[in-house]
Amino acid sequence: MGEIKKIVCRSCGAEWECMTGCGMLHGRLEWVADLYEEDIRKEIRSLLGERQFVPFTFAYQLSYCKSCGNIGSVPVLRLEEDGREYTGSCRQCGQKTELVEAIEKTPCPMCHATVLEMEETGHWD
Ligand SMILES: [Zn+2]
Ligand SMILES: [Zn+2]
């Protein structure tokens, strides 16, 4: 089950709601593949064509987009065998995003103050 996180800026009051973790549908690699753009989807599918079982971990993680300033969540898939990682792009502008390591060190995209806080508001699956 995944968690819904609310990110709030204590300086300007901006708010974002983000889904993190993973849901029931993400237990199979072919379903996870559908979350990505065509070229990545093809790569994952071809891997599945070669092998019976591909070990992986998957979760939505908080991300920060430098291009449009959006805070959101992106799908992060890691293949256990070779450590390859696939990170989804910004849902708002389609650019590459950076994963948020620590929200308290991430500047607010609206006012640039480093006073973001995170609350857990619920669950999804
Ligand atoms: Zn702010
Ligand atoms: Zn963006």
Query: Which pLDDT belongs to residue 25?
Result: 78
Query: Which pLDDT belongs to residue 52?
Result: 81
Separation between Cα atoms, residue 63 and residue 71, nearest integer Å: 6
Q: Letter for the amino acid at 45?
A: R
HEC secondary structure over 62-84: EEECCCCCCEEEEEEEEECCCCC
Interval between CA 22 and ligand 1 midpoint (Å) = 28
Query: Which pLDDT belongs to residue 125?
Result: 84
Interval between CA 73 and ligand 1 midpoint (Å) = 18
Interval between CA 90 and ligand 1 midpoint (Å) = 19
88-115 pLDDT, tens digit each: 999 999 999 999 999 999 999 999 999 9
| Domains contained in the chain, number | 1
Q: What is the band of 82 on the pLDDT scale with cuts at 50, 70, 90?
A: very high
Query: Which pLDDT belongs to residue 23?
Result: 87
Query: Which pLDDT belongs to residue 9?
Result: 97
Q: What is the band of 65 on the pLDDT scale with cuts at 50, 70, 90?
A: very high
Closest CA to 71 of 111, 37, 36: 111
| Domain interval for residue 99 | 2-124
Interval between CA 116 and ligand 1 midpoint (Å) = 7
Interval between CA 83 and ligand 2 midpoint (Å) = 26
Residue with tokens 């669950």: 123
6-57 pLDDT, tens digit each: 999 999 999 999 999 998 878 899 999 999 999 999 999 999 998 888 999 9
Q: Which ligand is nearest to the CA of 71?
A: 2
Interval between CA 79 and ligand 2 midpoint (Å) = 25
